[in-house]
């Protein structure tokens, strides 16, 4: 449920419109930006090495800065683009023009970090590690080694050619949720519909002003999980969600228990503003058992099942880094899930589970044969994680036994397998 990204910035050297709710307009930068052509890549795209403004080596890192005034957010102020990388070698920031000769390009950073900070006039400083923005070289920009037209695409296609000059432009600072950017926890089914108290993943841009932040015990108030983390908050149907992890590209939250079924808006808010609402379908339940991509063997998705009281996983093959074995009839094993709905006694979302509880109307089957369920409910010590202790029924041995379940009489939609021997 974690996503690690290299900071990456998309830039456009032509007029463009932004749909995000908070925008910033740059003034003229105080330092120049230089593109140096590398030549076309394998598919003919122009490539450029990029140097941002004034660079200095401090004996350990090179720090390059471009700064200038901005307007459009609060009272305006001063922006700083800061590129930092180890050593004093060539810049690791490159630009690729995706159509030869045009003025549209995107940046990729192979090492180091690229951060933008906005220091508002009479206001706070806001930092971003992942932004989308659009800018133009000013008319005073100059090119060498190439004739007209003087554009980024042509520079990239011409090794040694340079384009240098000040920039201005516009970029979005508010969070943006991507299309199809909300799913239930990826290792538990990754469904596009969600449910109260389940875990979801939100994907987008500018979702946090910190590179990554996972909750710690200090973020909790007693047994209650935080509703703000690293300056990011999330509402679902107008109710505050409980936040486990934030980064510019991904936020993981537990849905509040009181969210009503139907289409509900999801809004992510940071110091840069609020996202446009993303409408998501909320169902009473959206159950999924733990079955991550790492448990796909020979094209088959296996459920995560642990022999009770051990760290041995039920799998038909050896997997590096974990202990595995096939189950046999009579073995006690444990499954895990999210999105299975209310338990008795009621334990709302956002609270660490501290007591045993029961999930009614749950049954699990091995190749259509019902298993004895010794415990079905929320797992003590966790939030929103269900635990199912079951006894493997007497069935024929197979490495591809279908494992299914019913919740309130409805079948789960995952296609899962488990390995059983006799």
CA angle 306, 311, 317 (to 5 degrees): 70
- The pTM assigned to this predicted structure is 0.75
Characterize the bridge pairing of strands 93-97 and 312-314.
Answer: unpaired
Q: Which pLDDT does position 325 carry in this prediction? A: 97
For the segment 195-199, the average pLDDT, to the nearest whole number, is 98
Q: Which pLDDT does position 408 carry in this prediction? A: 95
Q: Which pLDDT does position 169 carry in this prediction? A: 79
Give the confidence band of 260 by pLDDT, cuts at 50, 70, 90: very high
First to last CA, the chain: 35
Q: Which pLDDT does position 109 carry in this prediction? A: 80
For the segment 127-131, the average pLDDT, to the nearest whole number, is 61
Characterize the bridge pairing of strands 323-325 and 312-314.
Answer: parallel
pLDDT tens-digit map of 95-118: 888 766 667 777 788 788 877 888
pLDDT tens-digit map of 142-163: 899 887 767 888 888 899 999 9
pLDDT tens-digit map of 216-239: 999 999 999 999 998 899 999 999
Higher pLDDT, 186 or 172: 186
Higher pLDDT, 132 or 372: 372
Q: What's the chain's average pLDDT?
A: 87
pLDDT tens-digit map of 292-329: 999 999 999 999 999 999 999 999 988 888 999 999 99
What domains can be seen in the chain, in order of their start residue?
10-172 (no CATH), 176-282 (2.60.40.10), 288-420 (2.60.40.10)
CA 50 to mean position of chain CA atoms = 27
Q: Which pLDDT does position 130 carry in this prediction? A: 53
Residue 292's contacts (CB-CB under 8 Å, 6 or more residues apart) are 186, 187, 304
Percentage of residues in the chain with pLDDT exceeding 70? 91
Lowest mean pLDDT among 106-115, 182-191, 215-224, 240-249: 106-115
CA angle 398, 404, 409 (to 5 degrees): 150
The partner residues of 96 in beta bridges, in order of sequence, read 47, 106
For the segment 369-382, the average pLDDT, to the nearest whole number, is 97
The DSSP-derived string for 31-100 is S-EEEEEEEE-TTS-EEEEEEESEEEE-SSEEEEEEEEEEESSTT-EEEEEEEEEESSSS-SEEEEESST
Q: How many CA atoms lie within 13 A of 225 on its CB side?
A: 26
The answer, yes or no, to whether residue 268 has pLDDT greater than 80, is yes
For the segment 48-55, the average pLDDT, to the nearest whole number, is 87
Q: Which pLDDT does position 1 carry in this prediction? A: 19
């Amino acid at each position: 449920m974690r996503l690690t990204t290299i900071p990456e910035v998309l830039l456009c050297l032509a007029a463009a419109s932004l749909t995000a709710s908070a925008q910033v307009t740059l003034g003229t930068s105080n330092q120049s930006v230089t593109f140096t052509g590398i030549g076309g890549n394998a598919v003919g795209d122009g490539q450029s090495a990029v140097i941002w403004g004034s660079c200095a080596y401090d004996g350990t890192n090179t720090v390059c800065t471009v700064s200038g005034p901005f307007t459009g957010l609060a009272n305006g102020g001063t922006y700083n683009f800061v590129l930092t990388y180890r050593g004093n070698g060539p810049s690791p920031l490159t630009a690729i023009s995706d159509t030869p000769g045009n003025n549209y390009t995107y940046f990729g950073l192979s090492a180091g970090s690229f951060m933008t900070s906005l220091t508002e006039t009479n206001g706070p400083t806001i930092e971003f590690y992942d932004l989308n923005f659009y800018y133009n070289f000013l008319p005073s920009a100059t090119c060498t080694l190439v004739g007209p037209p003087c554009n980024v695409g042509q520079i990239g296609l011409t090794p040694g050619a340079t384009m240098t000059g000040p920039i201005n432009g516009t970029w979005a600072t508010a969070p943006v949720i991507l299309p199809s950017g909300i799913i239930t926890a990826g290792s538990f089914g990754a469904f596009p519909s969600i449910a109260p108290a389940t875990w979801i993943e939100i994907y987008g841009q500018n979702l946090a002003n910190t590179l990554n932040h996972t909750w710690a015990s200090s973020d909790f108030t007693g047994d209650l999980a935080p509703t703000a983390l690293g300056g990011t908050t999330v509402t679902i149907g107008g109710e505050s969600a409980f936040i486990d992890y934030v980064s510019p590209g991904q936020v993981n939250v537990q849905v509040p228990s009181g969210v009503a079924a139907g289409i509900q808006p999801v809004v992510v808010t940071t110091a840069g503003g609020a996202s446009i609402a993303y409408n998501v379908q909320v169902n009473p339940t959206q159950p999924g058992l733990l079955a991550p991509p790492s448990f796909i063997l020979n094209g088959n998705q296996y459920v995560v099942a642990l022999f009770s009281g051990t760290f041995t996983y039920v799998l038909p093959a050896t997997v590096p880094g974990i202990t595995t074995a096939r189950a046999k009839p009579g073995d006690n094993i444990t499954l895990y899930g999210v999105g299975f709905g209310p338990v008795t006694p009621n334990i709302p979302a956002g609270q660490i589970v501290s007591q045993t509880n029961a999930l009614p109307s749950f049954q699990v089957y091995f190749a259509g044969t019902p298993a004895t369920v010794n415990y079905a409910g929320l797992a003590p010590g966790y939030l929103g994680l269900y635990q199912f202790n079951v006894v493997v029924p007497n069935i024929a041995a197979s490495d591809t036994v279908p494992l299914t379940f019913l919740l309130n009489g409805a079948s789960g939609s995952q296609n899962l397998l488990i390995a059983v021997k006799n």
